A and B are shown apart, each in its own frame.
Chain A
Amino acid sequence: MPAEATAINMAARASLWLKPHRIVLILIALALVLCAAFFMRWDWLPQYWEMGLLGIWRALWILVVTCALGFTLAVPLGLAQAGGPFWFAVPAKVFCTIIRGTPLLLQLWLLYYGLGSLFPQYPWIRESWMWTYLRQAWPYAVVALTLSFAGYEGEVMRGAFAGVPKGQLEAARAFGMSRFKIFRRIWLPQAFYRALPTLTGETVLQLKSTPLVATISVIDIFAVSSKVRQDTYLTYEPLLLLALIYMTITGILVLIFSRIEARIPVKIG
């Protein structure tokens, strides 16, 4: 498409979106933001912004790592439930039910306070190389969030694996593909395409779960805002900024995923 046509198209869409009442609403919103900027206290920002950036970095790092690990775990969980023999399917089902049936905060505290209080009792653990990690909070946060993501996404992958038409797998078998090759070339890609739209929602949900790690003393962006609130006795300013930061990250995530979805042919089956 020529650039001019695109520009005209975009202008048309913009004028369709920018109706008079929207302009008024946007102006009101701008006025509110300006009021917040002028009448609220923001003098603590220069002192804390480095800590805040580090907090955002930690939250993103936890998000990416737990989503990647969780998805890797979710594939066998879904596969076991969709097509596995019952001694695989039943434990996978039980795992998903337990994870989805209990609050993440409880799982996190169970791992950190519960398991964390067991480890120091055994001298061989305290003397081993693992102890440097088991003493810190972040491994528990990563494990809890990973298991949670795996539980929810495992259920999605079960549906996705079960939803791949039988004919596709039969055709692959008729071609003489080995079982692993069928999985790698036919079953997994098609299931992944099916699960992709829900993956956006799950990732946003996971982002919204990351502030829970602040309750076990991991310093993410939520913990930074709590520290600001304690130090300055301000109630709203840090929380509002925090909400804005999370909304921005959510927006960026949704944008990235919609780009990925646009690249992959979703019409299948």
Chain B
Amino acid sequence: MPPGWGGTLLVGLLHSIEIAIGATCLGLLIGTGGAFGKLYGGPVTRDLLAVYTTVVRAVPELVLILLLYYAGTDLINQLLSAMGYQRIDISGLAAGIFVLGVVQGAYSTEVIRGAILSIPQGQIEAARAYGMPPLLMLRRITVPAMLPFAIPGLANLWLIATKDTALLAVVGFFELTLATRQAAGVTKAYLLFFVAAGALYLALTLFSNLIIGRVEARSRRGMPSVKEAR
């Protein structure tokens, strides 16, 4: 770890990546559940999920982060005190992952729902005809068949997640943007540190793009290429 403010920036970057990974995983869980609820759930589940995705996509992330942050920590502490435990301080990391995960969940619900709808219906019907239980069908048919359709959208969501971590700086969580601001504020070298942080974010994005390209190519293997179809 390099000494001085460079090290601080790298610690911030590490925190940003941790939150982005956690939020994307949580978002994927919510998204998978949400997509199945929207497609196969009862009328009430569907309507509630529609409200969830619409509201989250219509309200700015910054407002949602504040609302969920206060509401979430309040709720947990009230539950704890109702059950007779002491109030606890929620760690910034857990709160950040929860908040961004809920936001990501709404977007991934839509992405995964669209991907499942793009699977030829015959495949799912065939699996049902074979008498596959739902979980086995999910593992063997639905997930592998939908991945090529879902990966571009999910990759985009990962890139959005890495950048949305910056918003947590506003609620005081120590990640790359806040680390940069502190470093810049102390040393007065604003331009230098902000450009350096921008380079770090950009490097993360470009590196992700590299990996995403490989994953996408692998998930599409055996399928007719898009270029030939045009």
> Could you say which residues of chain B place their CB within 8 Å of the CB of A19?
43
Q: List residues of A (15-46) whose CB comes within 8 Å of B's CBs.
A: 19, 21-22, 25
Interface segment among A1-9, A65-73, A192-200, A243-251: the answer is A243-251
Closest residue of chain B to A253, judged by CB?
Answer: B58
- Give Cα A70–Cα B48 distance, bound, in whole angstroms: 36
Smallest CB gap from B74: residue in A: A235
Category for how many chain B residues contact A: 35 or more
B62-79 with Cβ < 8 A to chain A: 62-64, 66-67, 70-71, 74
Name A114's contact: one of B60, B164, B194, B206 (CB within 8 Å).
B194
CB contact between A211 and one of B62, B169, B202 (< 8 Å): that residue: B62
Q: Are A113 and B194 in contact (CB under 8 A)?
A: yes
Partner of B190, one of A113, A247, A250: A113
Known contacts A102-B202, A103-B177, A109-B177; decide if A243 and B194 are in contact (CB<8 Å).
no
Q: Flag whether B93 is at the interface (Cβ < 8 A).
A: no
User: How many angstroms from the CA of A22 to the CA of B188 in the assembled complex?
Assistant: 57
Knowing A21-B47, A115-B191 touch, does A98 contact B198 (C-beta < 8 A)?
Answer: yes
Across the interface, A25 reaches (CB within 8 A) one of B44, B202, B205, namely B44
Q: In the complex where A106-B198, A212-B62 touch, is A101 in contact with B205 (Cβ < 8 A)?
A: yes
Q: Which residue of A lies closest to B209 (CB)?
A: A101
A117 near B60 with CB under 8 A, answer no
Chain B residues near A107 (CB, 8 Å)? Answer: 198
Q: A101-B201, A240-B67, A242-B63 are in contact. Are A215 and B177 (CB under 8 A)?
A: no
- Within 183-219 of A, Cβ neighbours of B (below 8 Å) are at 204, 207-212, 215
User: How many angstroms between the C-alpha atoms of A209 and B164 in the bound complex?
Assistant: 11
Q: Are A106 and B177 in contact (CB under 8 A)?
A: yes
When the two chains form the complex, which single residue of A104, A117, A215, A243 contacts B170, counting CB atoms closer than 8 Å? A215
Determine if B190 and A105 form an interchain contact, defined as CB atoms under 8 angstroms apart.
no
Contact across chains for A235 and B205 when beta carbons are under 8 A apart: no
CB within 8 Å for A106 and B201 given contacts A114-B191, A117-B188, A222-B63: yes
Interface residues of A in 72-122 (CB under 8 A from B): 97-98, 100-107, 109-110, 113-118
Q: Shortest Cβ distance from B20 into chain A, in angstroms?
A: 11
A242 to B60, CA, bound (A): 10
Residues A208 and B60 in contact, CB atoms below 8 Å apart: yes
Cα of A27 to Cα of B70 in the assembled complex, Å: 27
List B residues 182-205 near A (Cβ within 8 Å). Answer: 184, 188, 190-191, 194-195, 197-198, 201-202, 205
Provide the main secondary structure of the chain B interface. helix
Measured CA separation A239–B74 after assembly (Å): 15
Nearest Cβ on chain A to B53's Cβ, whole angstroms: 13
Interface string of B152-163 (1 = CB under 8 A from A): 000000010001
Q: Does A236 contact B (CB under 8 A)?
A: yes
A208–B61 touching, CB < 8 Å: yes
* Residue numbers in B under 8 Å from A114 (CB-CB): 184, 190-191, 194-195
- Minimum CB distance partner of A248 in chain B: B58
Residues of A within 8 A of B169 (CB): 105
Are A211 and B70 CB-contacts (below 8 A) given A25-B47, A106-B198, A113-B184?
Answer: no
B59 to A247, Cβ gap below 8 A? yes
Question: Is B108 an interface residue when CB atoms closer than 8 A count as contact?
Answer: no
| Given known A-B contacts A114-B191, A246-B60, A105 and B44 have beta carbons under 8 A apart | no
Cβ of B8 within 8 Å of any chain A Cβ, yes or no, is: no
Known: A21-B44, A114-B194, A247-B58. A101 touches B63 (CB 8 A): no
Of residues A22, A118, A211, which shows the largest number of chain B Cβ atoms within 10 Å of its Cβ?
A211
Does B181 have its Cβ within 8 Å of any Cβ on chain A? Answer: yes
- Apart from A25-B44, A251-B58, 13 more pairs, CB < 8 Å: A98-B198, A102-B163, A106-B180, A106-B201, A110-B190, A113-B190, A117-B188, A117-B190, A235-B70, A236-B71, A239-B66, A246-B60, A247-B59
- Give the interface of A toward B (CB within 8 A): 19, 21-22, 25, 97-98, 100-107, 109-110, 113-118, 204, 207-212, 215, 222, 235-236, 239-240, 242-243, 246-247, 250-251
List 14 A-B pairs, Cβ < 8 Å: A21-B44, A97-B202, A103-B165, A106-B197, A109-B177, A110-B194, A113-B194, A117-B190, A118-B191, A212-B167, A240-B67, A243-B67, A246-B58, A246-B59
Shortest beta-carbon contacts, A-B, top 6? A103-B166, A101-B205, A110-B194, A114-B191, A208-B60, A250-B58
